[in-house]
Every structure is written in structure tokens, then in C-alpha cells.
Amino acid sequence: MSADATSEGFSSMHQNSRTRVLTEEAIQQAQPLRRPWKISDGRGLYLLVAPTGGRYWRYNYRFFGKQKTIALGIFPDVSLEKARERHQRARELLADGIDPSEERLGLRKRTTT
């Protein structure tokens, strides 16, 4: 890519480093299909649209080489902004070497006992 490629409309970022594109409007317009489908917000955060019409926030990540998914809430109870905050918190835990799903399990155990 030439030095002036960014001036020609090409981004100098990696193909998987897109900025967030999900909007409240896009979420509202998402229609359920026969099978569950995903609307990505980037960096593993996505909205799962179920055939029943439910919309569920999920975060896919890897911890010690193992693929994992954590639930972040149900739309509209959890807004796009709140889901992004929860996603960022989970990313911070990963950066500190803590599995977000294990952290949540620990919190549940402490609150129930």
C-alpha cells in the first residue's frame, strides 16, 4: 500500500480492526430469521438475534487458547452503551489474566452465600 493510500479512501488499519458500526437503529430493525444470527459490534461483541425475536448480547473471547462465550445481557434491558461497558470490563479482566466467566461465577457464589 502506498503512502498516499489513506488519502485515496483506504484505511491503514488491519482488515479486522474496523471501528464499531452497530447502532441502536440497526438493532431495532434486526428481524428474526429461521435460525439465530449475529450482528457484530467488533472485538468479539455481538448481538445474537434468536428466531423467537429475542436479542442477546454475547462476547466471544479466548482464554489460554480455549474459545469461550459470555452472556452480557438481553436487549433492550441492556442497551448498546451498557453492553459496550460490560464488554470493555471483560476485556480488562482478560488483560489482567482473569477469565471473565470465572469472575462472574465467583461473584455469584459470594452473593448467594
Any domain includes 76: yes
Which of 72, 59, 76, 73 lies closest to 24, judged by CA? 76
Query: Is residue 80 assigned to a domain?
Result: yes
Tens of pLDDT, residues 52-75: 999 999 999 999 999 999 999 999
Residue 52 pLDDT: 95
High-pLDDT (> 90) share of the chain, % = 65
Q: What is the pLDDT of residue 15?
A: 54
Tell me the residue range of the domain where 106 lies: 21-112
> β-strand 37-42 against 45-49: which pairing, if any?
antiparallel
The Cβ of residue 100 has, within 10 Å, a number of other Cβ atoms equal to 21
* pLDDT winner (highest mean) among 1-10, 80-89, 100-109: 80-89
- Note whether residue 5 is domain-resident: no
Q: Please give the tally of structural domains in the chain.
A: 1
What three-state secondary structure class fits 39? strand
pLDDT tens for each residue of 88-101: 999 999 999 999 99
Q: Which CATH number goes with the domain that contains 25?
A: 3.30.160.390
